[in-house]
């Protein structure tokens, strides 16, 4: 195996190892995201796209070269298999065909796993972000639920307080209403007594007025009688003289 195909095979083994490590179930995506967020990766990120495209181009060239070699040795293999003049050439051509097919598989799988590896890194990063967002949303949902429960409890307390206050207020209003009714009855009683006293006073006034009128009439009558008697006395005195 030449040096270039040794490098490609090593690259293939490294890709397989990284894919297996990325697929390990006990390593969460968040840890891979923390690893990918190191400053070292940030420094080489500017060269990553160029290196990725360069490796793809090299692998495509090697893959096409391996395809060419396979087609070349496949045709030679068919011709030398039917030929009997060179018995050792068939085994030599078959060995080269085997190497060409091996190089074809190495380069093809290296190209395929390289694309898979890039896609796997992108998916792990996206999954880690989604899990982080899910955690944040879960915390927000829990906080919202706690706040809603707290508000519901406070609402129930306010309802209970308002209900208790309403009962106390009804009791107070009932007591005040009862007191007002009693005061109203008391005022009615006093008003009745006052009315009776006023009526009695009015009757007394009428009686006194009537008595005063009778006394006035009697006084006038007595005055008239006194005047008449005085006149009679004066007349009697004049006759005696």
Domain ranges within the chain, ordered by starting residue: 3-164
Residue 108 has pLDDT above 70, yes or no: yes
Choose from 29-38, 140-149, 232-241 the range with maximum mean pLDDT.
140-149
User: What pLDDT sits at residue 121?
Assistant: 82
For 178, the enclosing helix (H) or strand (E) is helix 87-240
87 — pLDDT class (breaks 50, 70, 90)? low
Look up residue 69 and give its two tokens. Answer: 């070699």
**Closest C-alpha to 141, from 130, 129, 133, 152:** 133
Close Cβ partners of 80 (under 8 Å, ≥ 6 residues apart) = 86, 89, 90, 93
pLDDT digits (tens, 9 = 90+) for 199-236: 777 777 677 777 767 777 776 777 777 777 777 777 76
**Nearest CA to 69 among 92, 113, 102?**
102
């Amino acid at each position: 195996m030449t040096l270039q195909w040794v490098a490609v095979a090593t690259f293939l083994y490294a890709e397989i190892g990284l894919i297996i490590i990325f697929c390990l179930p006990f390593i969460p995506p968040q840890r891979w995201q923390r690893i990918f967020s190191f400053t070292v990766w940030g420094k080489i990120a500017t060269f990553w796209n160029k290196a990725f495209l360069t490796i793809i181009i090299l692998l495509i060239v090697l893959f096409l070269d391996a395809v060419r070699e396979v087609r070349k040795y496949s045709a030679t293999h068919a011709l030398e298999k039917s030929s009997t003049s060179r018995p050792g050439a068939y085994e030599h051509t078959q060995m080269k065909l085997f190497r060409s097919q091996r190089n074809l598989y190495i380069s093809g799988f290296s190209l395929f796993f390289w694309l898979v590896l890039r896609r796997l890194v992108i998916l792990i990063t996206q999954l880690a972000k989604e899990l982080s967002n899910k955690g944040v949303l879960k915390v927000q949902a829990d906080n919202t639920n706690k706040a809603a429960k707290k508000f519901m409890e406070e609402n129930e307390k306010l309802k209970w307080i308002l209900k208790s206050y309403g009962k106390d207020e009804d009791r107070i209003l009932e007591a005040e209403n009862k007191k007002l009714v009693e005061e109203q009855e008391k005022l009615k009683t006093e008003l009745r007594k006052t009315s009776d006293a006023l009526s009695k006073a009015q009757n007394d006034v009428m009686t006194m007025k009537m008595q005063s009128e009778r006394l006035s009439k009697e006084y006038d009558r007595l005055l008239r009688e006194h005047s008449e008697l005085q006149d009679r006395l004066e007349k009697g005195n004049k006759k005696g003289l």
